[in-house]
Amino acid sequence: MKRIIVIGANGFIGSYLCDYLLKVGFEVIAVSRKFFQNTKIENRKCRFIEIDILSEKLINLEITADAIIDLAAPNDIFTKTKPKEAMNLAVFGTKNIMEFALKNNIKNVIFFSTLQVYGSELKGTIDENSKLIPENEYALNHIFSEEYIKMYSRNYELNSVVLRPSNIYGRFTHLGIDRWSLVPACFCKEAFYENRITLLSSGNQKRNFISLECVSEYCEAILNNFPQGFNILNIASSEYLKIIEVAEIVKKIYESLYDKEVIIRKKSELPVETNNFFIKSANLDKYKTNNKPNYNLNTEIKEIFKKLEVAKNGAE
């Protein structure tokens, strides 16, 4: 049985990924600065380690493992509200994780970056050789982290995979995870409590959406066939939708579930045009997933509504 260390295991992606890896037969060590009690309950078969990745304690921690999955990069909300702390986490947090890997002779590292390193409004065909055009500190911080990982891979012969996923969606492991700023969860929450969905724009921006389950499957495939050296993989799905189209899907599902009308409001008519793009990956075919048809936007939106019902009824 392979032992995997998941750093950033208390978050939206990390908590789900821990659960997934346990189910498919990996031993999982979950690492975070702190854990929600519900994270420990949902992923009770994990070994939990609470530690700050900016502390020397991480580097001095002695653990054997087959691979590390690094999800500790600062998210968009943290980056906006605490930009200095976010940059510190992206740079020195990543450095400490790579030093920890070196000290414990862990040769394989997966790092979660973002497709936003190519820009905020993507156009044309995007592959791993496309020009990096970071338009915000969130994207720039991920580039800093990527460069550290690339340097360590080159200098110390580590194997690493930088994943650049599109917009990840899915059910929350539990409601203590506060990522309600993400689409479609933000639309679900507003529809559920306010019977409306508010768009700050026209909603004409196109995005690619990929489920947590599909992302987890890619991680499983990589862990079972880890490539040599430094690698970059764009991960996306066939779900290309405009923001307004996602809002309309949420509206339709809510109205069918609760027999109440939801109003979609736009605060702007811009942008007028839609950005069309396509995500390619030269190496992704090596890591084909099951692409389970039962995990898509419609099914996951329904699951998010179920979580909101639980919260409203006070059961969680």
pLDDT value of position 40: 87
CA distance 302 to 131: 37
Q: Which residues pair with 112 in a beta bridge?
A: 163
**Which stretches does DSSP call E strand in the chain?**
3-7, 27-32, 47-50, 67-70, 108-112, 124-126, 159-165, 167-169, 196-199, 206-211, 230-235, 239-242, 263-266, 277-279
Tell which residue, 217, 312, 302, 201, has the closest CA to residue 252.
Answer: 302
Per-residue CA distances from 128 to 95, 115, 227 (Å)? 23, 10, 16
**Which stretches does DSSP call E strand in 76-201?**
108-112, 124-126, 159-165, 167-169, 196-199
pLDDT value of position 174: 87
Are 258 and 191 in contact by the 8 Å Cβ rule? The answer is: no
**Cα–Cα–Cα angle for 280, 282, 287, nearest 5°?**
100
pLDDT value of position 283: 81
pTM of model > 0.85:
yes
Q: Write the CATH number of the domain with boundaries 3-169+209-235.
A: 3.40.50.720
pLDDT value of position 284: 81
Are 69 and 17 in contact by the 8 Å Cβ rule? The answer is: yes
- Indicate the domain borders of the chain: 3-169+209-235, 183-206+240-275+290-314
Q: Which residues pair with 240 in a beta bridge?
A: 208
Are 118 and 271 in contact by the 8 Å Cβ rule? The answer is: no
Ordered per-residue pLDDT tens for the chain, 316 residues: 799 999 999 999 999 999 999 999 999 999 999 998 988 888 889 999 999 999 999 999 999 999 999 999 999 999 999 999 999 999 999 999 999 999 999 999 999 999 999 999 999 999 999 999 999 999 999 999 999 999 999 999 999 999 999 999 999 998 888 899 999 999 999 999 999 999 999 999 999 999 999 999 999 999 999 999 999 999 999 999 999 999 999 999 999 999 999 999 999 999 999 999 999 998 887 886 655 556 799 999 999 999 999 888 875 4
